[in-house]
Amino acid sequence: MIIGVTRETAAQERRVALNPASAAALIKAGFSVLLEEGAGVAAGFPDEEYRAKDVGLVDRGEIFAKADIVVQVQGPGSHDGGLEADLPLCRKGQILVGMQDPLGNPQAVATMAEKGVTAISLELVPRITRAQSMDVLSSMATVAGYQAVLEAAAHLPRLFPMLMTAAGTLAPAKVFVVGVGVAGLQAIATAKRLGAVVEAYDVRPAVKDQVISVGAKFVEFDLDTAGAEDKGGYAKEQSAEFIRRQQEQMQAVVARNDVVITTAAIPGRKSPVLVTAPMVEAMAPGSVIMDLAAERGGNCELTRADEVVTAHGVTILGPTDLVSRKPYHASQMFAKNIETLLRSLSKEGVLALDPADEVVAGTLLCRDGEVVHPRIRELLGLPAAGREQGD
């Protein structure tokens, strides 16, 4: 089977779905690989490096005309213009692998089904041991957590580490990380490496040991956190009353820190507001809020996606392209995730999508003209698979 890699067309996207090393590994596994000319340049991978690995360099039209599997970082459903730009070029039965934003944009899955393509959503890789090396959300969160600290440090008008100099002692910056998933843990570790004093909070008390292990103090509030974690280990959406009480207790912690980094995002849902306008007002002038949940509204009440907001002397950052600001290693990790996925689901270069396979069942959105993923069918108001309306 032929794997095609396209240049990314989403705004500010600099990653590429396969780097030369993963392309070579897939060729060794029996696939052929075609790359749209220049697709890897923005990420730091020139065409010559792919050509040296026996990757064919072609134009975009030839990718869609010849490839059995088209791999992208951001698939047709995940960005503005994706359906209009790429879907008309697709062939019936062609397999599209990438981030598809199915929970946030389920209608795009229905549109892809109408086209007759087979779509695989990398965001929905199940949290099982076998699939850890296929998990793009964790890979990209690692990059986002690291970059979030660098961006915050660049905007903070003070240094992160404590320094003892002939001109006096400089106190270390104080950083508060809200949400201790992969991005939060990486943010904690990065802030500690830069010399900051770090506190962290998560609604899931089970992550306390992880916070302590990377050198931060775990902040605890007087809240009932029973049932705060779902079966997959993610934080569950909380009630309005829970969030109100959480905000009340968090205000003093936010006020005493120089940098607040928030990471609480819920797939397909609006981000919960954790940092209110009065909390921002209580912070010292020059403080910085880095909101990693800006794409879906933000954890800070004053966040605006892809803008730098100044309120009460506090700088509020809401970038949605943090991962693309480190495209080389982000692409390396993303490519390894795709390589592992394709190799695990194939034999001698032929992809076999067995619905009984837990990874396939979790990621397959549509096939043979039908939306097949149960959760997406529910979001679209479709009956459960194998049933008719009224059954």
Active-site choice (193, 234, 325, 344): 234
135 is catalytic: yes
Tokens representing residue 121 in the block:
């959503």
Check 132, 244, 256, 368 and give the catalytic one. 132
Which regions of the chain does DSSP assign to beta strands (E)?
2-5, 32-36, 56-58, 69-74, 95-99, 118-121, 163-165, 168-170, 174-178, 197-201, 217-218, 259-262, 288-291, 308-311, 314-317, 346-347, 350-351, 364-367, 370-371
Active site residue 204: no
Which residue out of 68, 86, 101, 135 is catalytically annotated?
135
Q: Is 234 a catalytic residue?
A: yes
Alpha helices in 236-276 (DSSP H): 240-255
- Reported as half-sphere exposure (CB side, CA atoms, 13 A), residue 249 has a value of 15
What is the rounded CA–CA span in Å between residue 35 and residue 18?
A: 9
Strands 259-262 and 217-218: unpaired
- 50 catalytic residue (yes or no): no
Residues 188, 198: Cα–Cα separation, whole Å: 7
Catalytic residue among 74, 100, 121, 138: 138
Q: Is 127 a catalytic residue?
A: yes
Catalytic entry in 32, 47, 91, 127:
127
Start-to-end Cα distance in the chain: 40
Active-site residue list = 127, 132, 135, 138, 234
